[in-house]
A and B are shown apart, each in its own frame.
Chain A
């Protein structure tokens, strides 16, 4: 299994600012993903964080708004840029460790934009 930590766990931000969320995995993993969970909703995939190359974004998400880095096999960051209240959500990092068919999740970052 993989243990995933995220920082910060929560934050309250002003509109127009940016926040970078860090995701650390306790072992090397092949794939890392970022999801958004809007209040009372399910999880929506934002992007796949690729090590050594640009992230792969899902429809409706763009790099200028959600830049992602993945400098190595255990770490990734997601930045939420130029925030608006609609960005208030829980952002979750997840990783696929290679153990067949198991994907693990971090505890999430609860973001409130005022």
Chain B
């Protein structure tokens, strides 16, 4: 079955540091890939997505590129802010099937 593996947290960075959160996937078909963010005490928000190989999703300074050859969708941001502190989930789906989530990575950014 489909699955998502993402790097374990927590990740603690200083403000303006570079962020990478690794995500790899296993899928039987051609999935769409997503990053969701969950701020403290809130629900999930879609951060970015990519629907086919070599697509780059981007939003709020975050970006991730769909790499079919390495089955990866790593999340990056060049300069994190304290307000980026949250839990980040990598996920995949095929068509309108339910999302399959990774375990989540907690990011803490300190001033």
Which residues from chain A sit less than 8 Å from chain B, CB to CB?
30-31, 33, 41-43, 45, 48, 92, 94, 96, 98, 100-108
- Min distance, Cβ A38 to any Cβ of chain B, angstroms: 12
- A100–B43 Cα distance when bound, in Å, is 21
Tell me which of A30, A42, A108 contacts B102 (CB under 8 A).
A42
In the complex, are the beta carbons of A103 and B99 less than 8 A apart? yes
In the complex, are the beta carbons of B89 and A102 less than 8 A apart? no
Instruction: List residues of chain B with CB within 8 A of the CB of A94.
Output: 44, 98-99
In the complex, are the beta carbons of B43 and A96 less than 8 A apart? no
In the complex, are the beta carbons of A43 and B101 less than 8 A apart? yes
What are 26 A-B interface contacts by the 8 Å CB criterion? A30-B96, A31-B96, A31-B98, A41-B103, A41-B104, A42-B89, A43-B89, A43-B99, A43-B101, A45-B98, A48-B98, A94-B44, A94-B98, A98-B96, A100-B51, A101-B32, A101-B34, A101-B51, A102-B46, A103-B34, A103-B93, A103-B98, A103-B99, A105-B36, A105-B44, A107-B42
Of the candidates B36, B51, B89, B101, the one having the most CB atoms from chain A within 10 angstroms of its own CB is B101
- Min distance, Cβ A34 to any Cβ of chain B, angstroms: 10
Instruction: List residues of chain A with CB within 8 A of the CB of B77.
Output: none
In the complex, are the beta carbons of A42 and B103 less than 8 A apart? yes
- A34–B51 Cα distance when bound, in Å, is 23
